[in-house]
Structure 1
Amino acid sequence: MITDLKQETKFNNSYIIGISFISALGGYLFGFDFAVIAGALPFLRKEFMLDSVAEGFLTASLALGCIVGCLIAGKIAEKYGRKPGLMVAAFIFAISSIGIALSAGLTYFLVLRFAAGIGVGMASMLCPMYIAEISPAKVRGRNVAINQFTVVLGILITNLVNYFLKDIGVDAWRWMFGLGTVPAVIFLVGVIWLPESPRWLIKAGREEEGKKVLLKIGSDEFMNTTVQAIEKSLAGVKKQSFRALFEKSVRPAVLIGIGLAVFQQFCGSNVLFNYASTIFKSAGSSLDEQLLETVSIGVVNLIFTVLAMLVVDKLGRRPLMLIGSLGLSISFIVLAFLLQSHAPVLLISVFVLLAISVYSFTLAPVTWVLISEIFPNKIRGAATTTAVISLWAAFSILVFTFPILADKIGTYGPFYLYAAICFIGFVFVITKVKETKGQTLEGLEDNLIRH
């Protein structure tokens, strides 16, 4: 990653922000595919005559593809470069969006939805990596945050599009998925314009090309200092092995990272994004009201994610995680009670949005920050991949089991379970997770591993 320099060093800020936004379009695709299912499910249930098991598997198929995408993204990025990896992700997403829109049966739909997940998984790994490697250190946090911003923006815009498409007939779901081709093609064209990561170029022995990219970003001084820092960081570096994750010295950090990733999903909040229509249908809402609720969820998600970006470096990671886990536990207990007692839809909506605001302000963004910080340098790549795969695996279990649980014990039932998990997460954070705010990655290693 590019190191910081003296304050007087001049950077081409417009160029840096431009390439960061283009690469962050991968985050938009992530947000699109994450949200589109919520608007499409009411139509897909009728189209494919889905029972609770089929509905859960259909929703989870994206996450299963994401696991595969994460596994292959690292290999492509290391062997061929970050840019080709981003292009492959965009191409897969564009083709799968068209394919899903033309699906003639459930099996065909599931295969293409799985393929879309591969593209999403690749983008979720490569976009933040690319932005971090192309950005000067003093603006790296801001630029990486652009990716998270485009994720929630993709969720909101997709929810709005779904709402306006609801009245076009039984094939509305085809348009919902098919329109994903538009941002995918824009992303693909934009990636063609992007430069390759200078860190990868230098690592691959293409130093002159790496220097040219660095000169577009900053001054001669910046280029020379950065090249020296990259070469120093690569000196003696061996290929990372997943076997190293089981070493006694790093095992605590690895387990904490996996625990945080799994908890972020098992806390249950993403059920509100993916099954909002199911939840509000059980409360008596019409289709129009169900899709309007998804728009409200998207708006609240965007607002509180932006707020989290502004305060995470001031308030710290640990306090936000504690607030989020305990806040969600309380919110879900109340929400479950309201659903069970058939409370007015407006009151249910208030607590759904409250839970979304708590999650978007705390666990959703902060978990990703912690995963990027807590692993020792020598295992960071392998450990991050393992944590992200664990996250997607937990997500697939969450969205697969919700409709089954809701069918067996009522829509309210799972939220009592999620409330209990959130309280367990609160205990986990308070006993196992140390604050990382304001510390260097190297300085964190001894503290976290000893812990």
Structure 2
Amino acid sequence: MAGGSFGPAGVSKERAEHYKGKVTSYVIMACIFGAVGGAIFGYDIGISGGVTSMDDFLGKFFRKVYHKKSLSHENNYCKYNNQGLSAFTSSLYLAGLVASLVASPVTRNYGRRASIICGGISFLLGAILNALAVNLGMLIMGRIMLGVGIGFGNQAIPLYLSEMAPAHLRGGLNIMFQLATTLGIFTANMINYGTEKIHPWGWRLSLGLAAAPAFLMTVGGYFIPETPNSLVERGLEDKGRLVLEKIRGTQEVNAEFQDMMDASELAKSIKHPFRNILERRNRPQLVMAIFMPTFQILTGINSILFYAPVLFQSMGFKGTASLYSSVLTGAVLVLSTFISIALVDKLGRRVLLISGGIQMIICQVNPLNTKSITITTYNMLAFFMDAKQITVAVILGVKFGDNVELSKGFSILVVVVFCLFVAAFGWSWGPLGWTVPSEIFALETRSAGQSITVAVNLFFTFVIAQSFLSLLCAFKYGIFLFFAGWITIMTIFVYLFLPETKGVPIEEMILLWGKHWFWKKIMPTVPNKSYNI
């Protein structure tokens, strides 16, 4: 065991400059298999919206909605307003919220792999129940099992990726989770586009095919190695060092391994991680674990991803046209995630998160600088996160009445603006809403912190999923102005309170907060070291 005086996270000094190793095929494959779990989250997001717009599904489980959508005199904004239909979507996320809290002690005491496997098995069972559902109760039970799978998977996988990845590539490899999520959404949209034509059981095929990513997640969980951090935390130091040497491709891992040992020694003294995370020295990370996932959902992205086909049908798109539009937005989301993977470890997290006018003004200080031009270009895209909400609200308010469909031209414009919004989300808040919280906690509070992140994310996802159709009916186009206001707030929050985490070793992340202009008032003083904050 390491001796000496420990810092606020059990790490006595900074050793990052002594870290050795390279990116091995072993760690790349481990991260790919680990990230597959993100596909189950994405698949469900994509499949739910498509299935709830299918007449065969509505006719069997939600006949009131089925009859209401065919009435020409019905308010366009309210055709799908049904709490039972909303519960079909939202029940999964409420179950996931509870499961994520249960997953924390499993992840800490039995390892990241154990939670990944548990999540895969639960999701597999949920997919089978949904595919065979004969009544609403069986359908909701399947959704709850899916939620348990997502709760375990989302709790463990971002941690797994952050701990396996070398510091200089941690952002890009961690975003593999978001990439898998977006691929899951796109795949689900494509499947819905095909199964919508299969009557009367196409919806069963859509729901049942969720078993495929669940199976890959479960099998992959058996073959991927446990993270060295988890092995050391559970007292398996020798095995942890062997895994560390293998994933770094060198035996010169003394500095990184010593950081793990130091963090583990303190972690073992913490018997109640959830109580410990409330202590003052953990306040900055706790704030980020709450606000990052909250802001991620309050962008309004789920109003598109959950209900894209329903939303487009409400705007006048017919049948397969609405599914085609959601396929398009799904493809844009996948492609934009590659932008984040390419830039997150070069430009940093803050550059990709901060959008709009303030960022562009800063970049124009040196307009001839290539890096500034690159930053400006992508922040112009980010500006559309606000512009999209306002533009859609204006179009719907001026051109879309209670019982009037959008013209073809304005319908195309709405789809284009939606795609711009999805693109901006896909390279910024989409992946980094998961990446940042997964990398900032000390070892002793890491699993508890990730559980809080997942629980908050799923809570607000549940709220949006359950209330959006009712809010759309009540506020009409004004709901998009509501989301636009939150995007402004979250941009200011990141600018003021989030330090840059690019390139900082995960076990030394705690040292950042003591150097931040605001958080240093709360954190203990630490030796001065530049991380390009």
Normalising to structure 1: TM-score of the pair?
A: 0.90
Partner amino acid, structure 1, of 2:26: Y
Q: CA deviation at 1:178?
A: 0.3
CA distance in 2, matches of 1:100, 1:143: 32
The structure richer in helix per residue is: 1
**Residues 374, 445 of structure 1: 8 Å contact kept:** no
Q: CA deviation at 1:368?
A: 2.3
1:424 aligns with 2:489: yes
Q: Residue 291 of structure 1 corresponds to which residue in structure 2? A: 323
CA distance in 2, matches of 1:115, 1:394: 19
Q: Residue 50 of structure 2 corresponds to which residue in structure 1? A: 39
Q: How do residues 16-415 of structure 1 correspond to structure 2 at under 5 angstroms?
A: 16-43=27-54, 44-49=57-62, 50=65, 51-219=81-249, 221-222=251-252, 226-237=256-267, 238-239=269-270, 240-323=272-355, 327-340=384-397, 341-342=399-400, 343=406, 344-375=410-441, 379-410=445-476, 412-415=477-480
**Residues 178, 430 of structure 2: 8 Å contact kept:** no
Bigger mean CA deviation after superposition, 157-166 or 424-433: 424-433
**Residues 59, 399 of structure 1: 8 Å contact kept:** yes
**Residues 35, 274 of structure 1: 8 Å contact kept:** yes
CA distance in 1, matches of 2:455, 2:286: 13
Q: CA deviation at 1:424?
A: 3.1
Partner amino acid, structure 2, of 1:45: L
Q: CA deviation at 1:435?
A: 4.2
Partner amino acid, structure 2, of 1:442: I
CA distance in 2, matches of 1:205, 1:63: 34
CA distance in 1, matches of 2:348, 2:165: 23
Q: CA deviation at 1:236?
A: 3.0
Partner amino acid, structure 2, of 1:421: W
**Residues 250, 449 of structure 1: 8 Å contact kept:** no
1:450 aligns with 2:480: no
Unaligned residue ranges in structure 2 (runs of 5+): 1-10, 66-80, 357-381, 401-405, 522-533
What do the CA deviations read for 1:369-403 (whole angstroms, capped 9, x no partner)? 33235556664443332232111111111111111
Q: Residue 76 of structure 2 corresponds to which residue in structure 1? A: none
Q: CA deviation at 1:83?
A: 1.9
Partner amino acid, structure 2, of 1:407: C
CA distance in 1, matches of 2:217, 2:444: 32
CA distance in 2, matches of 1:234, 1:36: 41
| Structure 1 residue matching 2:225: 3-state secondary structure | coil
Q: CA deviation at 1:174?
A: 0.8
Aligned pair count reads: 448
Bigger mean CA deviation after superposition, 248-257 or 233-242: 248-257
**Residues 326, 426 of structure 1: 8 Å contact kept:** no
Q: CA deviation at 1:63?
A: 1.1
**Residues 285, 437 of structure 2: 8 Å contact kept:** no
Bigger mean CA deviation after superposition, 76-85 or 149-158: 76-85
Which protein has the larger Cα radius of gyration, Structure 1 or Structure 2? 2
**Residues 78, 200 of structure 1: 8 Å contact kept:** yes
CA distance in 2, matches of 1:322, 1:25: 28
Normalising to structure 2: TM-score of the pair?
A: 0.77
Q: CA deviation at 1:119?
A: 0.5
CA distance in 1, matches of 2:251, 2:503: 26
CA distance in 2, matches of 1:407, 1:349: 20
Q: CA deviation at 1:309?
A: 2.1
What do the CA deviations read for 1:332-378 (whole angstroms, capped 9, x no partner)? 11101212313421111111111111211222122223323555666
CA distance in 2, matches of 1:286, 1:307: 32
**Residues 36, 176 of structure 1: 8 Å contact kept:** yes
What do the CA deviations read for 1:95-150 (whole angstroms, capped 9, x no partner)? 11011111111122112102101101211121122233333444433322222221
Unaligned residue ranges in structure 1 (runs of 5+): none
| Structure 1 residue matching 2:172: 3-state secondary structure | helix
Bigger mean CA deviation after superposition, 317-326 or 78-87: 317-326
